[in-house]
Amino acid sequence: MQKTFQVGAKTFVLDQSKAEAAFAAKKVINGRETMTFNLLPLKYQWAYDLYRTMKANHWEPEDIPMGKDIEQWRDEKALSDVERWIIRMGIGYFSAAEGIVGDNVQHVVRELVTAPELKLVLGRHAHEENIHADSLLYMISSLGINPHECEAMFEDVPTIVGKNEFVTRISKDLRRDLDLTLSENKRLLAKNIFVFGQCMEGTQFYGLFGMILSLYRQNKFPGIGQMFRYTLRDESNHIEVFRNLFMDLVEENRDIWTAEFKEELRETMAEAVQLEKEFIRDCLPVNAVGLSLEDFLTYIDYIADRRLEGCGLAPLSSGAIKNPLPWLAEMMDIKKEQNFFEGRVTEYQKASSLNQASDDEL
Ligand code: FE
Ligand code: MN
The answer as to whether 222 is a domain residue is yes
The domain total for the chain is 1
Q: Looking at the CA of 236, which ligand is closest?
A: 2
Q: What is the pLDDT of residue 335?
A: 65
Cα-to-centroid distance, 110 and ligand 1 (Å): 16
Q: What is the pLDDT of residue 153?
A: 84
Q: Are 153 and 92 in contact (CB under 8 A)?
A: yes
Q: What amino acid positions are annotated as catalytic residues?
A: 138
The answer as to whether 14 is a domain residue is no
Q: Which residues fall inside 5 Å of ion ligand 2, going by CB?
A: 101, 201, 235, 238
Say how far apart CA 288 and CA 331 lie, in whole Å: 21
Residue 129's CATH number: 1.10.620.20
* Burial group, residue 135, by CB count within 10 angstroms (0-12, 13-18, 19+): buried
Cα-to-centroid distance, 7 and ligand 1 (Å): 50
The answer as to whether 61 is a domain residue is yes
Cα-to-centroid distance, 258 and ligand 1 (Å): 31
Cis peptide bond upstream of 41, omega within 30: yes
Q: Which residues fall inside 5 Å of ion ligand 1, going by CB?
A: 98, 129, 132
Q: Are 246 and 311 in contact (CB under 8 A)?
A: yes
Predicted model pTM: 0.91
pLDDT in tens, 115-138: 999 999 999 999 999 999 999 999
Cα-to-centroid distance, 302 and ligand 1 (Å): 21
Q: Are 206 and 88 in contact (CB under 8 A)?
A: no
Cα-to-centroid distance, 72 and ligand 1 (Å): 25
Residues of the chain with pLDDT under 70: 335-362
Say how far apart CA 68 and CA 224 lie, in whole Å: 10
Q: What is the pLDDT of residue 332?
A: 80
Q: What is the pLDDT of residue 288?
A: 81
Say how far apart CA 314 and CA 307 lie, in whole Å: 10
The answer as to whether 168 is a domain residue is yes
Q: What is the pLDDT of residue 347?
A: 57
The answer as to whether 306 is a domain residue is yes
**Of 201, 191, 202, the residue nearest 169 (C-alpha):** 191
Q: Are 198 and 213 in contact (CB under 8 A)?
A: no
Q: What is the pLDDT of residue 19?
A: 83
The answer as to whether 145 is a domain residue is yes
The answer as to whether 144 is a domain residue is yes
The answer as to whether 2 is a domain residue is no
User: Domain limits at 219?
Assistant: 41-332
